[in-house]
Structure 1
């Protein structure tokens, strides 16, 4: 089933088309459009429902975009950064930040999960632990005029496996600072086409 993407949204998504094959790109546009419209928990199933595709016979193709389809995630991150800089910071200083977050996950198949201190529920007198995946995100810090505050817009996110997971697979465990350093080096190697022109 084909869905029609509004021209205004399609024009915003267009820079990302080059990172995907044509069949995958069709599915990606539907997922992104549905993710914008979905309220509550955002899953592939809920996205298809809000897009009127709950009877889609080949629904598994949309799930495969996230777990099987091959597409360059780093290139998508670079394009996203380029677009955000063009929209929010056409000139001026570019400031980035890095922060981690814990995604609560359970189950034997979640190999990279660990036990971490929950910074939200913990206090000076009580430490609350949480089981899940730790993600590290690099964000572009921009001042949104209508919000009256600075927003942190993520463009590159990596999974930081737990120490137990690294030991299990006999890998060198990387601390958050190691992942952050690697992410900064990676962004530094991005083509500089997204940077605003230098002042003479």
Structure 2
């Protein structure tokens, strides 16, 4: 998987040779060979990902002394992030960040630079950021950036933005059937998935226009109160615009009050069908 990701990033860098690129990923991409490949490109790509609390961190390698032999790849071993988390002398910085729920949260961070190294693998200079919730509602996590010059708050803000991608994947699975296709041909599946993801984008853009026209309502339930529309609301509103009676596809005369059944009942049925999964 990291080999595929590396090749994708190489191709993207080839298409956009002068643009700053930042790849934000999960634990699966915290692999030294992958990070080293992105960091040592002619025009490096910054990678931000999770970091294990027990990762082996070191000081930078000392400067060459002119002695015969292979120069060292790393310096003195540093304490693990778990040890820094447990140390009462650690100097935490309180910051306000826009968290996963879209609300501003007060978090505590501690950050330094180091070299992440494992025997037999290339060393990777990083900036790591330790994040903890003073209220204890969220688990403590550690992040790394392959650009040590980046600020710790910038690294955190970029990583939180990744949550929007996770939500997108969940929504297209739940409402558009991504990964539930039943084609027998691999090529058919390869065609269907991009089309469904494109449909997600089209529905989102269409719903945005409906919001500007004040035509997108937020469905509520007694046990679930929402302040903002979700993708299910967007999908239902777009369906209503496409399926609205006798205005788009019908060739029959328009009856303003009665369409075989009372208008109120018809509207209720349309609303139910549009918001069903």
**TM score, norm. by length of structure 2:** 0.20
Structure of higher RCO (CA pairs closer than 8 Å, 6+ residues apart) = 1
**Alignment TM-score, normalising by the size of structure 1:** 0.25
